[in-house]
């Protein structure tokens, strides 16, 4: 039986246990220059120091127009590389594998940052229609992802994670609701996966065989079968690791497993793990706030690794609690928090921690 404390090797990189930190954006911490702030550096350095095996830095824009807001960090310029070295060094010093999530918001783009663009002209959530990307624009965007990955490698990251879920650009290409194309980037599962698959191949060629490439992919958008087929295309292209979450469409409640220790989003990772059949390691995420849940997911063979989001934000010591039973401050489950979208709410769990 696999234990949480067991190591796992992903493309030559040894994760010292089965817990990873999921990327969670700190919307209020950056500036127009796209640089990591001192808050970012302190935040990630602290979380690297308490037992996590892999840390993924938050969604990072590959172009200025693909940012959430002016305060969103980026890797679209060489001037943004140096400050990331503080994070990658902190990870190395703690024996933690480091990734950074690369993203473009696509049709969800904040109008302050640029026009909404995507695979097709569709109604956006902010109102109005998106602009359909030409094939030339698609190739130019793929190049921006590649250039950001090269910068990540120069900054010392062990690899990158492509943000392929949560309604952003790569997710928009795989979702039939937002991809209405009838060319080589639309239609079949293979074609809808092509945008990201070609990025994966480009990164692999430029950054080398030892560079870890992960995709945070949608588990059911709208169905398991299609998303598993897309995931297989990513694997064929060279993806080493699938970290599964939700997509544009809400998960069908019927996909919820009869498991009191998980929820429907977490279960998407379990379903993907079953569908992929050991081709690459698969993780799950969402609502994992108790050590019992982590042990259940790993020791019962439901997934290969567990991504921790709010549990790690509430208390960076959570992995230590899972491994050795030490005390920790549990996430309060706030709907709005300091790491939430454009808010100033203070995390009560962190306040409790600060008083200890």
Residue 241 CB partners (closer than 8 Å, separation 6+): 10, 11, 212, 213, 214, 215, 280, 281, 282, 283
Write down the pLDDT at residue 334. 81
- ω before 222 within 30° of 0 (cis)? yes
pLDDT tens for the 356 residues of the chain, in order: 999 999 999 999 999 999 999 999 988 888 999 999 999 999 999 999 999 999 999 999 999 999 999 989 999 999 999 999 999 999 999 999 999 999 999 999 999 999 999 999 999 988 899 999 999 999 999 999 999 999 999 999 999 999 999 999 999 999 999 999 999 999 999 999 999 999 999 999 999 999 999 999 999 998 999 999 999 999 999 999 999 999 999 999 999 999 999 999 999 999 999 999 899 999 999 999 999 999 999 999 999 999 999 999 999 999 999 999 999 999 988 877 655 654 566 778 877 877 77
Distance CA(82)–CA(91), nearest Å, equals: 15
At 114 the pLDDT is 93
Q: How many residues are listed for the chain in this entry? A: 356
Supply the pTM of this predicted model: 0.97
pLDDT at position 287 is: 95
Which pLDDT value is given to residue 91? 98
Contact 107, 166 (CB under 8 A): no
**Interatomic CA distance for residues 213 and 238, integer angstroms:** 7
- List, for residues 4-19, the tens digit of each pLDDT value: 999 999 999 999 999 9
Domains, in order of start, for the chain: 8-355 (3.20.20.70)
pLDDT of residue 64: 97
d(CA 107, CA 125): 8
Instruction: Please say whether the beta carbons of 240 and 279 come within 8 A.
Output: no
Cβ-contact 214, 99 below 8 angstroms:
yes
Alpha helix segments (H runs only) across the chain: 38-48, 84-93, 135-154, 169-174, 189-207, 224-237, 264-276, 291-299, 310-314, 318-324, 348-355
Please say whether the dihedral angle defined by the alpha carbons of residues 315, 317, 323 and 327, taken in this order, is positive or negative: negative
């Amino acid at each position: 039986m696999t234990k949480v404390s067991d190591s796992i090797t992903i493309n030559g990189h040894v994760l010292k246990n089965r817990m990873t930190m999921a990327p969670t954006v700190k919307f209020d911490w950056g500036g127009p220059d796209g640089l990591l702030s001192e808050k970012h550096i302190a935040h990630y350095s602290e979380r690297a120091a308490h037992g996590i095996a892999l840390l993924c830095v938050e969604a990072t824009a590959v172009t200025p127009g693909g940012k959430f807001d002016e305060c969103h960090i980026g890797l679209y310029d060489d001037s943004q590389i140096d400050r990331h070295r503080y994070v990658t060094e902190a990870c190395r010093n703690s024996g933690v594998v480091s990734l950074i999530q690369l993203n473009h918001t696509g049709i969800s783009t904040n109008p302050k940052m640029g026009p909404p663009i995507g695979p097709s002209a569709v109604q956006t959530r902010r109102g109005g229609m998106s602009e359909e990307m030409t094939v030339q624009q698609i190739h130019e965007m793929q190049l921006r992802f590649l250039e950001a990955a090269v910068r990540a490698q120069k900054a010392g990251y062990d690899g990158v994670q492509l943000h392929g879920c949560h309604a952003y650009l790569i997710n928009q290409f795989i979702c039939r609701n937002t991809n209405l194309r009838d060319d080589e980037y639309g239609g079949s599962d293979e074609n809808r996966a092509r945008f990201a698959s070609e990025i994966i191949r480009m990164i692999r060629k430029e950054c080398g065989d030892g560079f870890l490439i992960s995709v945070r992919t949608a588990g059911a958008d709208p169905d398991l079968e299609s998303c598993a087929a897309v995931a297989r295309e990513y694997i064929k292209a060279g993806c080493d690791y699938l970290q599964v979450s939700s997509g544009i469409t809400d998960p069908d409640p019927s996909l919820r497993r009869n498991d009191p220790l998980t929820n429907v989003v977490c279960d998407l990772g379990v379903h993907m793990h079953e569908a992929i059949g050991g081709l690459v390691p698969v993780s799950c995420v969402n609502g994992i706030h108790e050590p019992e849940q982590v042990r259940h997911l790993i020791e019962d063979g439901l997934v290969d690794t567990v991504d921790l989001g709010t549990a790690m934000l509430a208390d960076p010591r959570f992995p230590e609690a899972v491994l050795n039973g030490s005390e920790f401050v549990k996430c309060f489950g706030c709907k709005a928090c300091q790491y939430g979208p454009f808010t100033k709410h203070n995390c009560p769990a962190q306040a409790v921690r600060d008083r200890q």
